Structure 1
Amino acid sequence: MNMEVFERRESEVRGYIRSFPTVFSKAKGARITAEDGREYIDFFAGAGTLNYGHNNDEFKQALLDYIEGDGITHGLDMATEQKRAFLEAFERHILEPRGLDYKVQFTGPTGTNTIEAALKLARMATGRSNVIAFTNAFHGCTLGAVSATAGKNFRDAAGVNLGNITRLPFDGYLGEGVDTLDLLERMLDDTHSGVDKPAAVILETIQAEGGIRVASTEWLQRLRKITEDRDVLLIADDIQVGCGRTGKFFSWEEAGIVPDFVTLSKSIGGYGLPMALLLIRRELDIWKPGQHSGTFRGLNLSFVGARRAIETYWTDDKFEQGIAERAEIIRAALGKIAEAKPELGLELRGRGLVLGFEATADDTWAPRVSKAAFERGLIIECAGSKDQVLKFLPPLNIDLDDLNKGLELLAEAIDAA
């Protein structure tokens, strides 16, 4: 397979191509085909961009018809029929059933764009500059977002000092039995702590890139109360773990909290097309017209895919039931593997279909398993500060035969590794 041009011409920044060194040509559902004809089962799903699978038939024809009919592709932030249709579907099927009254801002098309908008607006709304972010967080790689990101490799690439962020421990960072919010509360209330009153707290309810670290319901509820009582805004980063990934549309629903801002990207576009939203508590939408701009805010193909995804999967609870069924299948299979290999100290964590599997006795285990899995026809990536966690992100509607076949391949890879 000819990979030479990628090595010769593509930047050294390329990443996933090194983990999965083949040339892919087409994909359907949870399967990707390489140009040599070999098929791979996809437990990666574009790092959570393809929650509804590759080339979903429910969306494809609508997109083809739209293009064939000379529908508007690019509209900046002008009004179009497809933007209206998306907003109406989002309001009817996502916001109103959950009692939510967010304004919707279309930012640039990537997750880091909507993080930048959230940080900027939070600072404007409060007149404060400091933001609380957590250990092991990942929020993006543009300058504002990478300031809130914890990983050294991402921060080292910034080239400037990264300020206006106070880093505090996430739930579980200091071990079992330690509520890390005691520290947050004390530092916010002590005028001599050295922590300036923040504009906002930003968090992922499940830190996906950080190693599938799950904030408990109790921790999230207490965090929301701490921020509300002190007039500090809460930004929920649902870019990777939203759009059904945890079993509900929003990752924070089960905790019964309502953030002030919510960032969405990745699978919000439905078909894998680029799209990003910032959901804003109505009274905080203080932007002046054009104050935060971007050329690709109005990619109408994304509106088509996003609307169809909502109308296909989110009008009742059948899709959520399917997610729960698939999650239970994975948990059962991984539980058997953990029981059979006690020497590895295998630990399973996560919620819905964002799951992590870590060999606590061997930091090098997950990359070896990922490589062995790829050799057998399964794509699964690693996460965590040392890539020590196998990260499960299959399509939420993955065919059960494909799911079980992928788990069989994984078991073979674990034996080989």
Structure 2
Amino acid sequence: MNQIAKDVSLALFDRLESEVRSYVRSFPVLFDRGVGTTLTAADGQEYLDFFGGAGALNYGHNNQAFKQALLDYIERDGIVHSLDLATTAKKGFIEAFERYILKPRGLTYKLQFTGPTGANAVEAALKLARQVTARSNIVSFTGSYHGVSAGSLAATANKDMRAAAGFPLAHVTSLPYEGYLGESFDTIAYLEKLLADPSSGFDTPAAVILEAVQGEGGINPASVEWLQRLRELTSRHGIVLILDDIQAGVGRTGKFFSFEPSGIVPDIVTLSKSLSAYGTPMALVLIKPDLDVWKPAAHTGTFRGNNLAFVTARAALETYWSDSKFEDEIARKSEILATELASIAADHPGLGLSVRGRGLMYGLVSPKDHSLPARVSKEAFARRLVLETAGSYSEVLKFMPALTIAEADLRRGLSIIRDCVRTVQDSTAASR
């Protein structure tokens, strides 16, 4: 037994790591290995992963389809750091992305490699939209999450995250997302009225930024009609439409891009998280060619050339996106997930649970008791299943299993959740 397996205490982290830690507080275990959808702790205990690195591990942990390609690249001393120099690894990724993603969808985007975080991709997208339009204001939506660096945080809705900035977050207007004010309130018509009325006090924005399926906001999928109307409105008013696909993209909602079912073509798309396919940092901004007005070095970053990520990202595209088989597999598992969650909700009518989502990105919503999802998550972790909560009040139990998860593991995890909901409900009833 090696030293790490002997010492499973988290005391070192409590003593020396910043109080900013969050996930470790919900999942206080010293993890050591990850394969597929199984996490192994230092003490040998195995956990089923329905968390998926908050969307960064769509293909699971240490996917064997990419692992050898990465090891071979390192073994032959392939370029690791390159800024924005041309490398064979980048060339291979660009060729694969064009062949398997852009061309089949009739897309002609230019590719901008930013610093390796999703927030950096969002920062670049917002800066570019402002350059293109010579306007400063941005529209984002209630429930949105776009990152926590200054510009991206201004477009993020969460109150606690915004408060941490320490200074006013300006030049972004938050408007109601679809359904925020109820089914009868037309949020697109509201935006249209603000733009049309010269006395609305609302300046025409440089861009509208949104997620087609909000993740941290509580698994809120926008309808096809709403997205189509928003695209038409922004096009008509000369507003850049930025689609943040950092969490909901790369197959998470069933298609490579979350906006595909709507048929719209955003002006700019931001990608990160699972783009690298291996959990290594990588971010990408897709730009319509006529909007690519950047001057050389106008948006830089020391680590905008993560060649290790290029290698695994290319392997993922070649392995999973060369035909429709992977999408078909996601659709089949999505039906299982949605059906089982609906069954759990139906089995507990007194809780008022509901289900929403797409693909393998679903939420079990508890509007009556906002504490229930956190209690279910805690109970699930005690049974060695890892999943988080989301939403304004953490009222959503968030399901993000790997897209490659075996059906048996998916059903096993859902069975655990069923038992946990029952246990939490019984515990609540007993305490009254």
TM bucket (normalised to shorter chain) is: over 0.9
Spell out the pairing of 1:221-300 with structure 2 (5 A cutoff).
221-300=228-307
8 Å CA contact 1:122, 1:233 repeated in 2: yes
User: How much has 1:396 moved relative to structure 2?
Assistant: 0.3
User: How much has 1:138 moved relative to structure 2?
Assistant: 0.5
User: How much has 1:411 moved relative to structure 2?
Assistant: 1.3
Q: Which runs of 5+ in 2 are unaligned?
A: 1-7, 425-432
Question: Any idea what the Cα deviations from partners look like across 1:384-413, whole Å, max 9, x if unmatched?
Answer: 011110000000010111111111111121
Question: Any idea what the Cα deviations from partners look like across 1:338-394, whole Å, max 9, x if unmatched?
Answer: 111000011000010110101222111000000000000100100001111000000
Q: Matched residues in 1 for 2:200 and 2:186: separation?
A: 18
Partner of 2:378: 371
8 Å CA contact 1:133, 1:201 repeated in 2: yes
Q: Matched residues in 2 for 1:245 and 1:400: separation?
A: 16
Spell out the pairing of 1:81-96 with structure 2 (5 A cutoff).
81-96=88-103
Q: Matched residues in 2 for 1:285 and 1:141: separation?
A: 25
SS of aligned partner of 2:145: coil
SS of aligned partner of 2:303: helix
Partner of 2:429: none
Q: Pick from 169, 180, 187: which aligns with 2:187?
A: 180
8 Å CA contact 1:104, 1:280 repeated in 2: yes
SS of aligned partner of 1:221: helix
Q: Matched residues in 2 for 1:125 and 1:8: separation?
A: 48
Q: Matched residues in 2 for 1:406 and 1:123: separation?
A: 45
Question: Any idea what the Cα deviations from partners look like across 1:11-69, whole Å, max 9, x if unmatched?
Answer: 00000000101000001000100111111100010001000010000000000000000
Q: Matched residues in 1 for 2:157 and 2:367: separation?
A: 21
Q: Pick from 201, 204, 226: which aligns with 2:208?
A: 201
Spell out the pairing of 1:308-327 with structure 2 (5 A cutoff).
308-327=315-334
Q: Pick from 12, 33, 36: which aligns with 2:43?
A: 36
SS of aligned partner of 1:385: coil
8 Å CA contact 1:343, 1:361 repeated in 2: no
Partner of 1:139: 146
SS of aligned partner of 2:96: helix
Q: Pick from 46, 54, 57: which aligns with 1:47?
A: 54
Aligned amino acid, residue 145 of structure 1: S
| TM-score, normalised with respect to structure 1 | 0.99
Aligned amino acid, residue 79 of structure 2: I
RMSD of aligned Cα (Å):
0.7
Aligned amino acid, residue 200 of structure 1: A
Q: Pick from 169, 176, 188: which aligns with 1:169?
A: 176
8 Å CA contact 1:377, 1:409 repeated in 2: no
Question: Any idea what the Cα deviations from partners look like across 1:56-90, whole Å, max 9, x if unmatched?
Answer: 00000000000000101111100000100000000
Q: Pick from 395, 412, 415: which aligns with 2:419?
A: 412
Q: Matched residues in 2 for 1:40 and 1:199: separation?
A: 45
Aligned amino acid, residue 276 of structure 2: G
After superposing the two structures, state which structure 1 stretch, 307-316 or 400-409, moved more: 400-409
Question: Percentage identity across aligned positions?
Answer: 58
Aligned amino acid, residue 205 of structure 1: A
Aligned amino acid, residue 405 of structure 1: R
Aligned amino acid, residue 324 of structure 1: A
Q: Pick from 61, 79, 89: which aligns with 1:72?
A: 79
Q: Matched residues in 2 for 1:325 and 1:269: separation?
A: 24
Q: Matched residues in 1 for 2:176 and 2:385: separation?
A: 34
User: How much has 1:191 moved relative to structure 2?
Assistant: 1.5
Partner of 1:403: 410
User: How much has 1:334 moved relative to structure 2?
Assistant: 1.3
Question: Any idea what the Cα deviations from partners look like across 1:271-317, whole Å, max 9, x if unmatched?
Answer: 11100000000010011111100000001000001000100000100
User: How much has 1:177 moved relative to structure 2?
Assistant: 1.8
Q: Pick from 337, 344, 353: which aligns with 1:346?
A: 353
Partner of 2:161: 154
Provide runs of 4+ in structure 1 moved above 6 Å: none
8 Å CA contact 1:245, 1:251 repeated in 2: yes
| TM-score, normalised with respect to structure 2 | 0.96
User: How much has 1:167 moved relative to structure 2?
Assistant: 1.0
Q: Pick from 93, 104, 109: which aligns with 1:102?
A: 109
